[in-house]
Amino acid sequence: MLDIRRIRTEPEVVKAALARRGVGAAEVDHVVELDARQRALASERDDLRNRIKSLSKRVGALHKDGNADEAGAVQAESRALGEREHELAEEAGAIGASIRDLLLSIPNLPHPDAPDGAGDADNPVLRVVGFDPDGYEAHQRIPHWELGPTYGILDNERAVKISGAMFTMQRKGGATLARALVQYGLDRNADQYEEVRPPSLVSTETLTATGQLPKFADDAYSMAHDDLWAIPTAEVPLTSIHRDEIVDIAELPMKFMAASSCFRREAGSAGRDTRGMLRTHEFDKVEVFAYATPEQAPDLLQDMVARTEATIGALGLAYRTLEICTGDMGQSHHRSFDVEVYAPGTDQWLEVSSISWFADYQARRGNIRYRPGTGGTAMVHTLNGSALAVPRVWAALVETYHRADGGIDVPEVLLPYFRGQTRIA
């Protein structure tokens, strides 16, 4: 969430930044109004507390002097003030809760260098690598949802029987390919990132810390009886590893990676392409995540982008990198990039990675701090990226590496994970 102190002291700056995202000023003005009211109530409450303390001392002195009647009158006055002080405290608490609800709904401020735009059509393409629109043969133009059943490596029909619509099931070489991609994604980042296997079910507080709640509640799977949610990405538990802690500045940046199943209801996907592996309720993904100082964050963001590009490039897939404009940013994002692969069978660019810098937006929700060395504490900055999301990379590989004489070649970098196989036959 945003820093209430900045909203209090620089409301026009905050409103101007949010306007770049197409967000109006009403919520900020409401926060300023409520904050002023809460502070006035708190000041009045503190004055009453001081008066009550003074009256308590006076009661003691009157009793000591034998003035019981006067002491009783002073006690009555103190009780009346105490009741009023309790009312003020309750009102201030209620306003504080309203302020927090508003802050949870206000999106992050975009980085000054983030491109302006109204939606995804305005995301500038920074670079395109390995793409030749005329370089694909007819056998590569077959969509993976046709190739999968042909080779017995994708069995969505039975997945739907088992679990319902928008679930997938890989079999034989398709299952091996999915597993290989996960291990490959971890191995590509093991030089700098600590591997973590976090829980797949998390509390409401944990999901709120990343910005998933309350806005995206409809897209998440919940177990209300236990106050638990199935994670939509490993970013969620990784963000909260050091929630409510002060980390040592000498340990920053702290880098984590995790392979996990991800669960998404995709409540807003009506009418969008759900064939094959393009959009599914459950999938595997390798996530990279970091805590950093504000000074470390920009270089770390670019390194995450470069790592993802190199991971996709080494698979032999055509890809392009886009910077996300202000109108297409996620709620928590400060600056963000997407990497997309080209899938020749579907003739589409498929988003396979989103790499984002959140500034201190998530850390403020999770109360994750460090000591800068100048006294006091400051919020860390958080960053995350999809190092390798299996479904769409799987789809692009199956289409790209399909051969005219039958079978699907295994990319060279995945051969160590295929038990000696070189082709999915």
Domain boundary among 105, 134, 169: 105
- How many residues are given for the chain? 425
**Is 305 contained in some domain?**
yes
**Is 339 contained in some domain?**
yes
| Same domain, residue pair 64 and 178 | no
Per-residue pLDDT at 183 = 98
- Check pLDDT > 60 for residue 268: no
- Check pLDDT > 90 for residue 269: no
Mean pLDDT over 228-237 rounds to: 95
Per-residue pLDDT at 119 = 95
**Is 113 contained in some domain?**
no
Which long-range contacts link 302-307 to residues 24+ away (Cβ below 8 Å)?
304/355, 304/383, 304/385, 305/337, 305/339, 305/355, 305/385, 307/188, 307/189, 307/385, 307/387
| Same domain, residue pair 97 and 134 | no
| Same domain, residue pair 176 and 91 | no
Number of domains in the chain: 2
Instruction: Report percent pLDDT > 70 for the chain.
Output: 99
Domain interval for residue 32: 4-105
- Check pLDDT > 80 for residue 289: yes
Q: How does pLDDT run across 79-89, given as a tens digit for each residue?
A: 888 888 888 88
Task: Please give the model's pTM, rounded to 2 decimal places.
Answer: 0.90
**Is 25 contained in some domain?**
yes
- Check pLDDT > 80 for residue 167: yes
Q: Which one has a higher pLDDT value, 35 or 274? A: 35
| Same domain, residue pair 266 and 147 | yes
**Is 31 contained in some domain?**
yes
| Same domain, residue pair 148 and 240 | yes
| Same domain, residue pair 171 and 296 | yes
| Same domain, residue pair 63 and 146 | no
Beta bridge partners of 298: none
| Same domain, residue pair 125 and 38 | no
**Is 114 contained in some domain?**
no
CATH number for the domain harbouring residue 86: 1.10.287.40
CATH number for the domain harbouring residue 375: 3.30.930.10
| Same domain, residue pair 78 and 190 | no
**Is 234 contained in some domain?**
yes
Q: How does pLDDT run across 307-343, given as a tens digit for each residue?
A: 999 999 999 999 999 999 999 999 999 999 999 999 9
| Same domain, residue pair 21 and 157 | no
| Same domain, residue pair 329 and 183 | yes
- N-term to C-term CA, the chain: 51
**Is 112 contained in some domain?**
no
Beta bridge partners of 230: 201
| Same domain, residue pair 157 and 206 | yes
At 146, list the tokens.
């046709």
